[in-house]
Amino acid sequence: MNRPLGTGAGIREVARLAGVAPSTVSRVLNARIGGVQMSAATIERIRAAAAALHYQPNAAARSLRTTQAQSIGVIAVNLLHPFIAELLRVISAGCRARGYHLLLGQAEQSSTEGRLLGDMMSADRVDGLLLLGDVLPEDTRTEDMERLLQTHSHVVTLGAHPSVAGELSILVDDEQGLSLALDHLVALGHRSIGYIGQRIGPESWEDQRRAAYRYFLSAHNLPYAAGADLVVTNQIESIREALRSLSALPDRPTAVVVGNDLTALLIINAARTMGIRIPDDLSVVGFDDIPFAALCTPGLTTVRQPIESMGQLAASALLDRITDTTPALPLVGRIPKTLIFPPSLVCRESVRPQ
């Protein structure tokens, strides 16, 4: 219940009057702005609201807030995706080794959940934020990141669009990865090559991989057919429809590059039920090298993202900033705002010469 004006308001009333988040009020009134960018007008508006409402920070609570929460907030685009799950395993191990725990949240793409989770994981609850994938809504992505940076001193992104990075954005080189896959197929004699991916959003990693596929075909004078460049969901009927479309093309692709391993594994499974032999009828190359890629039959040839190295760097870079620790690895101390990891190609049985 709101307190009457002049009877000693709470921090939420001050935030409401000033038009900011409660964590922003806490930062200003407890002198914990640090390196967070905040305009003089915002600071003055918060102080004026506090004075008007006769707000007094609780001394005991303020002393508790000077200590760190010993936790990291992680907002992921899909906690159940095998690639994200493997990243979380690595990140969690790195954080536990330094006495930190993870507070997890899932934000579906194109929703406002990422923004809401960022507000819930306030600076009083977590010492820093790690974003896995493009978790912020496409239409307000830049504004939402600026909002997060107003309330969190430390934000690191992994696999997210670099233009909305916090202190550091960690990515894999998608163009190089697609080139590795396509060079391999061309060397094996494939000339008609399709692409199957998901529609996530403009400038997402999926669109960047699709753009790299189209650029490669153009640069190497290979035929491009719109009918061989397909968008699917991870529903089995969507996968089967894509395979039927490829099979019906006049110049039927002999190979297909897939935007992620999970979709590639579903393609292999669907092909088996449709009588399409992998790799005899269709060679398949994935992207990620999740653990399941080596366990399916046939084993999936795929572009490997260095999950272990990327996850370790994400955790250590964020914790080093939180604790103001000089990185143990010289490289980490000199990393740019955006760090791009090189991928590699892992050859298994899902590809054969044409």
Residue that wins the pLDDT comparison between 33 and 178: 178
Q: How confident is the model at residue 117 (pLDDT cuts 50, 70, 90)?
A: low
- CA–CA gap between residue 174 and residue 340 (Å, rounded): 9
Phi–psi pair at 128, nearest 5 degrees: -170, 165
Within 10 A of 106 (CB to CB), how many other CB atoms are there? 19
Residue that wins the pLDDT comparison between 58 and 104: 104
Q: How confident is the model at residue 321 (pLDDT cuts 50, 70, 90)?
A: confident
Q: What are 261-272's pLDDT values in tens digits?
A: 999 999 999 999
Mean pLDDT of the chain: 82
- CA–CA gap between residue 353 and residue 219 (Å, rounded): 22
pLDDT at 331 over 60: no
- CA–CA gap between residue 348 and residue 354 (Å, rounded): 16
Starting at the edge strand that comes first in sequence, how are the strands of the sheet with 344-346 ordered?
229-231, 193-197, 255-258, 283-288, 301-304, 344-346
This prediction's pTM:
0.74
pLDDT at 313 over 80: yes
Residue that wins the pLDDT comparison between 96 and 165: 96
Domain coordinates in residue numbering, the chain:
11-65, 71-172+307-340, 174-305
Is 152 in contact with 322 (CB distance < 8 Å)?
no
Fold of the CATH domain 174-305: Rossmann fold (3.40.50)
Residues in contact with 236: Cβ distance below 8 Å, sequence separation at least 6, in sequence order:
266, 269, 270
Classify each residue of 213-252 as buried b or exposed e, where b means 16 or more C-beta atoms within 10 Å of its C-beta: beebbeeeeeeebeebbbebeeeeebbbebbeebeeeeee
Instruction: Give the model's pLDDT for residue 1.
Output: 38
pLDDT at 213 over 90: yes
Is 137 in contact with 110 (CB distance < 8 Å)?
yes
> Do 11-65 and 71-172+307-340 show the same overall fold?
no
Take residue 95 and report the two structure tokens written for it: 């954080």
Within 10 A of 154 (CB to CB), how many other CB atoms are there? 24
Name residue 231's beta-bridge partners. 197
Q: What are 80-116's pLDDT values in tens digits?
A: 889 999 999 999 999 988 889 898 888 765 455 555 6
Q: How far is CA 152 from CA 3, 6, 42, 94, 101, in A?
A: 28, 30, 16, 21, 17
Classify each residue of 261-295 as buried b or exposed e, where b means 16 or more C-beta atoms within 10 Å of its C-beta: bbbbbbbbebbeeeebebbeebbbbbbbbbeebee
Q: How confident is the model at residue 217 (pLDDT cuts 50, 70, 90)?
A: very high
**Which of 71-75, 103-107, 288-292 has the weakest average pLDDT?**
103-107
Fold of the CATH domain 71-172+307-340: Rossmann fold (3.40.50)
The size of the chain, in residues, is: 354
Instruction: Give the model's pLDDT for residue 8.
Output: 52
**Which of 91-105, 183-197, 257-271, 320-334 has the weakest average pLDDT?**
320-334
Residues in contact with 131: Cβ distance below 8 Å, sequence separation at least 6, in sequence order:
74, 75, 76, 114, 155, 156, 157, 158, 160, 166
CATH dotted code for 11-65: 1.10.260.40
Instruction: Give the model's pLDDT for residue 161.
Output: 66
Q: What average pLDDT does this structure show over 277-295?
A: 96
Residue that wins the pLDDT comparison between 104 and 63: 104
Residue that wins the pLDDT comparison between 295 and 169: 295
